[in-house]
Chains A and B, each alone.
Chain A
Amino acid sequence: MNGGQDLGGMHGFGPVVSEPGKPDYDVENYHAHWEPRVMGMVVAMGACGQWNIDISRHARESISPAEYVTFPYYKIWTEGLEKLMLERSMVTAEELTTGEMRTPPITVKGRLKKADVWTALHSLGGAANRPETRKQKFKVGDLVHTINTHPTTHTRLPRYARGRTGEITKILGFHVFPDSAGNGKGDDPQWLYQVRFTAQELWGEDKNPRDTVTLDLWEPHFNSA
């Protein structure tokens, strides 16, 4: 979807490092006490098994663009988590407001226990590759042209790379296709490639002719050029 998350190439947000050397930019990962709690809760809620990572990304990018670009990042995570739980009747809006349970919980796959955290984090449970059921169509060096498409649903083909010609630079495996999995339509695994575009192809002739951008894209995102 052409939402607030699709930021590549936008202007006007100002410098990345407004105050070089400020600890926030060099060291800190959080700004407020509530932020690590959100990070930990989002990771822990994964054990309930009610959504996949692509669905959770889609929930976050579904907030209004104006909110997306101004909210602290972990507030976006909070909004996404609450949306996912509301959609699945895990909580009600009233419960979120009051913090008190009024309805029974739904049945979930599991609950992460402290003693299991290390193992759960290291289980490679998030691996996105799947058994290969067909051969890849493209090889390294092939030129491909990305599709011009503007789905209102989840996609990992950003606007700035649609309708552009690039070169396959790596074959990355047979992976879950987020444009399906993120929309609740199953893994639909596809061949995944690294595709390299010149900066001039993406942004125009005034860019350094040596510079490039790579994206990791799935076979349905492009055709032979």
Chain B
Amino acid sequence: MSGDHDHDGAHDHSHLSDMDARIRALESLLVEKGYIESEAVDEIVELYETKIGPRNGAHVVVKAWTEPEFEKWLRDDATAAIHSLGYTSRQGEHMVAVFNSDDTHHMVVCTLCSCYPWSVLGLPPTWYKSPPYRSRSVIDPRGVLEEFGTVVPESTAVEVHDSTAETRYLVVPQRPAGTEDWTAEQLQKLVTRNSMIGTSFALSPEQAT
């Protein structure tokens, strides 16, 4: 099964327009009932498109890469460290930061639904919510990583975090070699969303150019 890709197929076009009509009817009903305002829905959608996204997480990661005191705070109390930067939005109330190293590679999943650190990464990508990722990441993490082009040596442990509670996990990828004299602004370009989920490494200087 191709999971969420199904609706790219031709047979699903009628299905999609059915959903378009159904959701338009639902919104108009909820507005008429006084439960919601469409302008508030617009604003929520807009904020997650423009203000609450993976740039927040990249800021946290680069601060940890460049400021040892912040790194220690992030290890000891990720919630306080991340909230101190203003990233207090929902699905980020309780944070744990896990640090990739030569010994351990961390990756995050929610097998039971789609728990994801919205406050620092925004909305989850489609693949994160899909049955292939949710079923396989706990039983075959190395196979999943390889699909993302991420090869973790056998001698490095892979630790998968299944987000079963309200704790949200942020992966701090390893800082790429050859970036010792880079500015924070330059470093942030290396920190992709997937590197903070743990399905990829941070970009190398060569990949970023």
Contact = CB atoms under 8 A, between A and B. Distances in A.
B69 interface: no
B124 interface: yes
B40 interface: yes
B189 interface: no
Contact of B166 (A7, A27, A126, A160): A126
B134 A8 contact: yes
A90 B35 contact: yes
A215 B112 CA distance: 11
A130 to B, nearest CB: 11
Nearest to B165: A216
Contacts of A44: 36-37, 40-41, 44
A23 B201 CA distance: 18
A101 B40 contact: no
B36 A96 contact: no
A173 interface: yes
A13 B111 CA distance: 14
Contact of A9 (B5, B138, B161): B138
B184 interface: no
Interface stretch (B57-65, B149-157, B174-182): B149-157
A137 interface: no
A125 interface: yes
A31 interface: yes
Interface string A116-128: 1110011011111
Interface residues of B, number: 86
Contacts, number: 285
B45 interface: yes
B145 to A, nearest CB: 10
Given A28-B125, A38-B23, A41-B41, A118 B94 contact: no
A134 B113 CA distance: 30
A108 B164 contact: no
A214 B159 contact: yes
A105 B136 contact: no
A129 interface: yes
A73 B159 contact: no
Nearest to A29: B123
A17 to B, nearest CB: 4
Given A158-B111, A214-B159, A17 B36 contact: no
Contacts of A170: 96
B201 to A, nearest CB: 15
B144 A16 contact: yes
Contacts of B24: 34, 37, 99
Interface in A92-134: 95-101, 105, 108, 111-114, 116-118, 121-122, 124-129
A78 B22 contact: yes
B20 A114 contact: no
Contacts of B96: 170, 172, 194
B1 A13 contact: yes
A95 B28 CA distance: 10
Interface in B160-200: 160-167, 194
Nearest to A97: B25
B147 A20 contact: yes
B26 to A, nearest CB: 7
Interface string A5-43: 111111111111110100011111111111011111101
Contact of B44 (A97, A117, A210): A117
Interface in B101-128: 111-114, 122-127
Interface string B53-73: 000000000000000000000
Given A24-B5, A97-B25, A117-B44, 15 more contacts: A9-B135, A25-B127, A31-B126, A36-B45, A72-B4, A78-B23, A90-B33, A113-B40, A114-B37, A118-B47, A121-B90, A122-B89, A129-B94, A158-B162, A175-B166
7 contacts: A16-B127, A16-B137, A105-B34, A121-B52, A121-B90, A192-B167, A213-B159
